[in-house]
């Protein structure tokens, strides 16, 4: 299973955000997209799932050319995609259960009981049982992320996109969320792509790291390879903090 991004371009007005970006993401690895704030990580994910149209280039899901498809044809692939938005993006007016059930209500033919079973299974899976009737405003940041993950996996996605899943969380909770995404990825055999600038995530989980800079794929490699890169921009980004500098030696 793979998603190929082929020579994509995306601009807003006269601001070129992505310029000739090509990258292949494969199942079975933790795929991380990293880069500074405003480098285009979210735009890349949004282009990949069709929330933004690319100006040029192609997105191909397992040999199915998403970019060439019309709205109706894309529907099938969209239903295979789970997305954890930056900031969670839960529906504030819906309780946890209804948030997670949203996709199932839209697209599945399951009975109400089956849908409830699925919701409860997903909530168990993210270690949040018995919060069905709570509203997003009643949840902590970490709980919101878990609900967002539960919602993203409710439809049994083949592809999972997580945009900064652990931003705004304390270091321990961040690790818990990272581990949860990794477990879910392996357990359900999902192709997962994570946007992050969390260096702990990079060091611990980066099996395939794609560094975006100035609209381009500036560097690609694994977490074992980040220490020996001969590139100033990359090193300035990765080893910005004192703690990371110590790792570099």
Ligand X SMILES: Nc1ncnc2c1ncn2[C@@H]1O[C@H](COP(=O)(O)OP(=O)(O)OP(=O)(O)O)[C@@H](O)[C@H]1O
Question: Contact residues for ligand X (CB under 6 A)?
Answer: 12, 17, 35, 37-43, 86, 197
DSSP 8-state symbol, 131: -
The site partner of 17 among ligand X, Mg ion, none (C-beta below 5 to 8 Å per kind) is ligand X
Kindly tell me which of 85 and 123 has the beta carbon lying closer to ligand X.
85
Residue 196 binds to Mg ion (criterion: CB under 5 A) = no
Among the listed residues 125, 122, 150, 124, the one whose alpha carbon sits nearest the alpha carbon of residue 136: 150
d(CA 60, CA 66): 5
**Is residue 211 classed as helix, strand or coil in its secondary structure?**
strand
User: Measured from the CB of residue 65, what is the shortest distance to Mg ion in angstroms?
Assistant: 26
The site partner of 39 among ligand X, Mg ion, none (C-beta below 5 to 8 Å per kind) is ligand X
**Is residue 10 classed as helix, strand or coil in its secondary structure?**
strand
Range 59-92 burial, b when 16+ CB lie within 10 A, else e = bbbeeeebbebeeeebeebbbbbbbbbbebebee
Kindly tell me which of 157 and 215 has the beta carbon lying closer to ligand X.
215
Contacts of 131 (CB under 8 A, 6+ apart): 96, 123, 139, 143, 147
User: Measured from the CB of residue 37, what is the shortest distance to Mg ion in angstroms?
Assistant: 7
Kindly tell me which of 97 and 163 has the beta carbon lying closer to Mg ion.
163
The site partner of 38 among Mg ion, ligand X, none (C-beta below 5 to 8 Å per kind) is ligand X
- Cβ atoms 46, 164 nearer than 8 A: no
Helices 141-153 and 96-107 cross at an angle (nearest 10°) of 20
Kindly tell me which of 42 and 95 has the beta carbon lying closer to ligand X.
42
Q: What track of x and - describes contact with Mg ion for positions 54 through 93 (by CB under 5 A)?
A: --------------------------------x-------
**Dihedral angle over CA of 151, 29, 169, 126, nearest 10:** 40
Among the listed residues 42, 99, 174, 201, the single contact to Mg ion using CB under 5 A: 42
Give rounded-to-5 percent helix, strand, coil for the chain.
Answer: 40, 25, 35
User: Measured from the CB of residue 238, what is the shortest distance to ligand X in angstroms?
Assistant: 15
d(CA 103, CA 28): 25
Among the listed residues 162, 167, 198, the one whose alpha carbon sits nearest the alpha carbon of residue 182: 162
User: Measured from the CB of residue 36, what is the shortest distance to ligand X in angstroms?
Assistant: 7
User: Measured from the CB of residue 46, what is the shortest distance to ligand X in angstroms?
Assistant: 8
Kindly tell me which of 214 and 224 has the beta carbon lying closer to ligand X.
214
User: Measured from the CB of residue 36, what is the shortest distance to Mg ion in angstroms?
Assistant: 10
Kindly tell me which of 41 and 151 has the beta carbon lying closer to Mg ion.
41
Kindly tell me which of 85 and 219 has the beta carbon lying closer to Mg ion.
85
| Residues at the site binding Mg ion, with contacts judged by CB under 5 A | 41-42, 86
């Amino acid at each position: 299973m793979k998603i190929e991004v082929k020579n994509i371009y995306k601009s807003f007005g006269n601001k070129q955000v992505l310029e000739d970006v090509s990258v292949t993401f494969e199942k079975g690895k933790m795929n991380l997209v990293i880069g500074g704030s405003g480098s285009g990580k979210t735009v890349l994910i949004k282009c990949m799932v069709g929330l933004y149209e690319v100006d040029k280039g192609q997105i191909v899901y397992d040999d199915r050319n998403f970019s060439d498809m019309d709205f109706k044809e894309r529907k099938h692939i969209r239903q295979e995609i789970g997305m954890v938005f930056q900031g969670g993006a839960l529906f504030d007016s819906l309780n946890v259960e209804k948030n997670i059930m949203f996709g199932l209500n839209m697209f599945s033919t399951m009975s109400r009981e089956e849908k409830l079973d699925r919701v409860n299974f997903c909530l168990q899976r993210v270690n949040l049982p018995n919060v069905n009737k709570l509203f997003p405003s009643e949840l902590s940041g970490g709980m919101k992320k878990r609900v967002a993950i539960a919602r993203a996996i409710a439809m049994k996605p083949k592809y999972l996109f997580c945009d900064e899943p652990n931003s705004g969380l304390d270091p321990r909770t961040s690790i818990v969320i990272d581990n949860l995404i990794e477990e879910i990825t392996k357990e359900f055999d999902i192709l997962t792509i994570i946007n992050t600038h969390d260096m702990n995530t990079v060091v611990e989980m980066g099996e395939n790291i794609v560094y975006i800079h100035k609209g381009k794929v500036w560097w690609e490699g694994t977490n074992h390879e980040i220490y020996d890169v001969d590139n100033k921009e990359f090193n300035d980004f990765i080893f910005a903090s004192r703690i990371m500098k110590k790792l570099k030696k």
